[in-house]
């Protein structure tokens, strides 16, 4: 027996990486709108304000805002059961501080969700996907300040009520553990010290828990999950000190899951904060809020695995979207230095399910690569097909052999979009090619890649036929 008959096959995007229309119909600027383009060898820069003469990839992206009907129709052609997307918070509350929401923003997502429903596609909605309103940063430093909790809860309450009956799958914060690596992306945090990041993380935990509780009260059918940025590592050797070092490395990321899935801070994290002299500012009711606002499921991204150990001197550093680690000599890498590890996906499913006993949802997985448009217009992305064949095969083993409760699978960038890590367009993930370059120039026309029909067949056979 393979995947369940109601398995959620689909694809994933994020508003700031695909919508464009950054200042249209009342939308305010978000933290993504002041981050420049970069590359594999060039860091993206946060300019804090929108400056003249600088290219910001989020401003146009692939203009999904004006092409969503065309794009969703293509998703429907592939047979999508669900579409993971995000609401751009600053479309609903332009600065985050308004008392009443922006009706034009609400109406836009009404239209998007209605279009999904027209084709029988379930929206899976991320409430905050690297899109904190810039107004909250300017007003009080965003998530380092407790007032951001109320702003988020207000926003969540608005969209839960507005889209009741249209959306039932939600996630609160995208890759919430990104706070430890990039505080700006995760929550508009300028400071780089651990105390500031942990305080911001605590506020997001409380905000998420409150949102979960309110979301259930508004609609009992709502399923509200967390989203973990898949950090998974192996011990460098079987030397006990390397094994312990790897446990410490994994705990640094999984602590976010521990709090949101279990409803309390794990003992190892409390001890770590104590050793470092970090005192979190909390309210007496926070403990109860966290307990009452545990998530319904755990969603996560999986692209690669890393290596950790006591002494990794001399080992090559591997790069990833959210983190760095050490390379595994047994694995191949992508052109952007990400290690390809399909079996690691099965391992991650087993580890997370064993740890939390909650339904899991793989909401990002895929291969970023340079795609070539041939003279006849075809795009032969066999490398992407091979990557996904191997990962889906291991995912199926986790369900069929290991008994993991897996809800669905939404490969990242089902349509080409701006890379979060580098701001590039040439690092393409999609089954659908969009004619836009790294400077935002192009026709914006959509073209099917070879992987389009392949993934269509995978969905049609519920993952039974993975042949190219």
* Residues annotated as catalytic (active site), given as ranges: 175, 364
Q: Any idea of the CA torsion for 138, 18, 129, 406, to the nearest 10 degrees?
A: 180
Q: Any residues with CB less than 8 A from the CB of 166 and at least 6 apart, and which?
A: 110, 113, 114, 117, 123
Check the CA dihedral 417-423-426-427 and report its sign. Answer: negative
Token look-up 């579409």 returns 83
Distance, in Å, from the CA atom of 209 to the CA atom of 224, rounded to the nearest integer, reads 10
Distance, in Å, from the CA atom of 91 to the CA atom of 407, rounded to the nearest integer, reads 29
What angle do the packed helices 240-262 and 267-276 form, to 10 degrees?
110
Distance, in Å, from the CA atom of 381 to the CA atom of 448, rounded to the nearest integer, reads 11
Distance, in Å, from the CA atom of 381 to the CA atom of 379, rounded to the nearest integer, reads 6
Distance, in Å, from the CA atom of 309 to the CA atom of 234, rounded to the nearest integer, reads 8
Cα dist. 25→49, 254, 456 in Å? Answer: 20, 39, 35
Distance, in Å, from the CA atom of 39 to the CA atom of 62, rounded to the nearest integer, reads 18
Distance, in Å, from the CA atom of 129 to the CA atom of 175, rounded to the nearest integer, reads 8
């Amino acid at each position: 027996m393979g995947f369940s008959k109601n398995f959620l096959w689909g694809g994933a995007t994020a508003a700031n990486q695909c919508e464009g229309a950054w200042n249209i119909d009342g939308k305010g600027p978000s933290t993504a709108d002041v981050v420049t383009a970069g590359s594999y060898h060039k860091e993206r820069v946060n300019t804090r304000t929108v400056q003249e003469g600088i290219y910001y990839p989020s401003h146009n992206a692939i203009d999904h805002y004006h092409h969503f009907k065309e794009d969703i129709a293509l998703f429907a052609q592939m047979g999508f059961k669900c579409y993971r997307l995000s609401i751009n918070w600053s479309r609903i509350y332009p600065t985050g501080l308004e008392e009443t929401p922006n009706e034009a923003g609400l109406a836009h997502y009404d239209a998007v969700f209605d279009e999904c429903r027209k084709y029988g596609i379930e929206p899976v909605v991320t409430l905050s996907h690297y899109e904190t309103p810039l107004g909250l940063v300017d007003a009080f430093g965003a998530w380092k300040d407790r007032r951001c909790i109320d702003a988020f809860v207000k926003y969540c309450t608005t969209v839960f009520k507005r889209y009741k009956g249209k959306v039932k799958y939600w996630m609160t914060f995208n890759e919430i553990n990104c706070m430890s690596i990039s505080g700006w992306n995760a929550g508009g945090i300028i400071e780089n010290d651990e105390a500031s990041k942990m305080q911001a993380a605590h506020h997001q935990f409380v905000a998420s828990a409150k949102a979960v509780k309110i979301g259930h009260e508004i609609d009992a059918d709502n399923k509200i999950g967390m989203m973990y940025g898949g950090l998974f590592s192996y011990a460098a050797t079987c030397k006990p000190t390397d094994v312990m070092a790897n446990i410490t490395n994994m705990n640094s990321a999984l602590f976010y899951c521990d709090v949101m899935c279990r409803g309390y801070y794990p003992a190892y994290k409390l001890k770590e904060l104590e050793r470092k002299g970090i005192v979190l500012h909390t309210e007496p009711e926070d403990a109860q809020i966290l307990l009452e606002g545990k998530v319904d499921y755990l969603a996560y991204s999986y692209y690669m695995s890393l290596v950790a150990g006591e002494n990794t001197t001399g080992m090559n550093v591997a790069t990833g979207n959210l983190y760095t680690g050490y390379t595994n000599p047994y694995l191949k890498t992508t052109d952007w230095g990400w290690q390809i590890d399909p079996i690691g996906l099965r391992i991650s499913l087993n580890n997370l399910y064993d740890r939390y006993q909650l339904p899991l949802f793989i909401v990002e997985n895929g291969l970023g690569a340079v795609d070539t448009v041939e003279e006849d217009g075809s795009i032969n992305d066999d490398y992407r097909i091979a990557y996904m064949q191997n990962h889906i095969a291991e995912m199926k083993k986790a369900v069929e052999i290991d008994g993991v409760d897996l809800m669905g699978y939404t490969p990242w960038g089902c349509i080409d979009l701006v890379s979060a890590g580098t701001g590039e367009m040439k690092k393409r993930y999609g089954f659908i090619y969009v004619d836009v370059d790294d400077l935002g120039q192009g026709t914006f026309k959509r073209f099917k890649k070879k992987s389009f029909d392949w993934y269509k067949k995978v969905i049609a056979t519920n993952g039974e036929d993975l042949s190219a």
